[in-house]
């Protein structure tokens, strides 16, 4: 972490860089990031503000620590922990209510793409994900499209496929919240590496990336950031 921040700060200042560490090291990462252009977020949080939910971390707790972002509905949370669209929607709502920007993760499985229901699946995840935000006049959030069949496999989809899904996501948002839809950033996640990150970010459909395993290598992560901030 220290080595990552010790490099030339120009690329880090030119991009919106957010680190989402595991809960046990959030405090350490928050301290190290203080005073740097890098902000931090959480990988997950619970939708209830308080109560008897042993082991859970609330949005209110994260806000008190200075959390800027939180992942909601990551594909692994949906697949391994049974999070439903409704669960994700409640997390998105609570994040916005606490002044934390949710990163709403959506994406289809390989089976859903084979069955040609990937567009319906993603569109529905988007609709339900933002369903509880109508009461908030100011609702800032990001959507991360992560095709589940590509995440962690080392086999990213073609950029044109990702852009097509980004267009669908924007279309869905326009139907749900026409006044703010075009201001919602969409980023791509799925086997993002230094040698492919820039091919996905065209500035029109996709404006950034959600980096998974490559982020564990400070040099690889810095290279990705450098490539995306170099014209």
Catalytic residue annotation: 74, 146
The count of other CB atoms within 10 Å of the CB of residue 96 is 21
- Max distance between CA atoms of the chain, in angstroms, equals 51
| Cα 137 from Cα 150, distance rounded (Å) | 35
Tokens for 133, please give them: 């935000």
**Token couple for 222:** 């810095």
Please give the Cα distance from 36 to 227 (Å, whole number).
20
Closest CA to 125 of 101, 102, 143: 143
Q: How far apart are CA 15 and CA 45, in angstroms?
A: 25
Are 94 and 125 a contacting pair, CB within 8 Å? Answer: no
Residue 145's DSSP bridge partners are 106, 188
Distance between CA 186 and CA 201 in Å, rounded? Answer: 10
Residue 65 has, within 13 A of its CA and on its CB side, a CA count of 24
The one-character DSSP state at 15 is S
The structure tokens listed for 145 are: 């499209």
């Amino acid at each position: 972490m220290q080595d990552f921040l010790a490099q030339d700060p120009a690329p880090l200042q030119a991009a919106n860089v957010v680190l989402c560490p595991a809960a046990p090291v959030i405090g350490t990462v928050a301290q190290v990031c203080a005073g740097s252009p890098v902000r931090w977020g959480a990988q997950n949080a619970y939708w209830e503000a308080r109560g008897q939910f042993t082991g859970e971390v609330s949005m209110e707790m994260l806000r008190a620590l200075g959390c800027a972002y939180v992942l909601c509905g990551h594909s692994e949370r949906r697949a391994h922990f049974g999070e439903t669209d409704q669960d994700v929607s409640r997390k998105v709502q609570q994040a916005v209510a606490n002044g934390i920007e949710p990163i709403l993760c959506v994406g289809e499985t390989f089976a859903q793409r084979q069955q040609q229901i990937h567009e319906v699946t993603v569109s529905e995840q988007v609709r339900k994900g933002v369903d509880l935000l109508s009461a908030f006049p100011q609702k800032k959030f990001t959507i991360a499209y992560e095709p589940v069949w590509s995440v962690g496999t080392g086999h990213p989809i073609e950029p044109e496929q990702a852009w097509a899904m980004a267009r669908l996501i924007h279309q869905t948002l326009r139907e749900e919240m026409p006044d703010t839809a075009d201001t919602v950033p969409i980023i791509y996640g799925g086997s993002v590496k230094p040698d492919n990150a820039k091919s996905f970010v065209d500035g029109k459909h996709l404006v950034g990336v959600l980096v998974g395993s490559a982020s564990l290598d400070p040099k690889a992560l810095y290279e990705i950031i450098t490539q995306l901030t170099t014209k």
